[in-house]
Amino acid sequence: MIKNVCFLLGVFCVLAFAKAQQNPTSQPIKNDSVKKDTTEYFYIDGDSVSSIELDKVMLLQDLNFDSRYERIRYLLLKRKVLKVWPYAKMAAERLTVLDQRLASLETKNQRKKYSKMVEDYIEDEFKAELKKLTKTEGQILIKLIHRQTGDTAYALLKRLRSGWSAFWFDKTASLFDMSLKEEYLPETVVDDFYVEDILLNHIIDEKLEEQEPAIEFDYFKARSNWKDYERNLPPTYDSIQLAARAQRIKEYKEKKARKERRKRK
């Protein structure tokens, strides 16, 4: 599975490889590239007042959780989102470059060889980091790749490799309860909304570098839907979910302790 993820990310990192194959060239400054003064003036009581268009600013209130369990889920997701965001962002930045490079190659064999070279190069570069991703982090990464490229991981693999490869990669992913066909749907999927809220808050606070999504959705509609979701949770939701979480933690600790005992023998 990790090799498949390495390829998926690797093809988006082609710029680092491509730059090593090309000599930098200087470009003349075009006349139309000089920024023009777009200041507008308004006249009030005979005096001119300048008006300059400013960047849009979004102000978000923190989510007010009624459910303790949902708040815990949100906080756990935050760390995972911040960990995988750089990879998803990199995917979008490199995809256009990859497409351009492949389009410049004349034969299918050349394109295949180039993709293989990139895959091997990037696998060596990122394999150690990607191995550290948990199943949940892998699921988030697949979602964010759709957010940033506009294509599912499955569609990208099908286009960049083949439908057969995409099919088997997706079958392999299913063994880990993952699907390369997953889409990013913050308006209807609660976990996706949490991911979006985490991203926006960290971008606003300048803790993450902004990158526009390649798909369209309405954050405020998603937020409204989330409020409805919370209001409709059954009264016993927290007690049931928190008890189940406590049991999972207990089983995890017991499993870890057994492994430690086996190592000491």
More confident residue, 218 or 101: 218
Longest CA–CA separation in the chain, Å = 90
pLDDT (tens digit per residue) in 88-127: 888 777 776 776 777 787 787 877 777 677 666 666 666 6
State the pLDDT at residue 167. Answer: 64
In tens, the pLDDT along 159-203 reads: 766 666 666 666 666 766 778 889 999 999 999 999 999 999 999
Q: Where are the alpha helices (DSSP H) in 35-160?
A: 68-104, 108-130, 135-149, 153-160
pLDDT in tens, 191-214: 999 999 999 999 998 888 888 999
> Comparing 57 with 31, which gets the higher pLDDT?
57
Quote the pTM value: 0.73
* Residue scoring higher pLDDT (38 or 31): 38
Q: Which residues lie below 8 Å from residue 199, measured CB to CB, with a gap of 6+?
A: 81, 85, 208
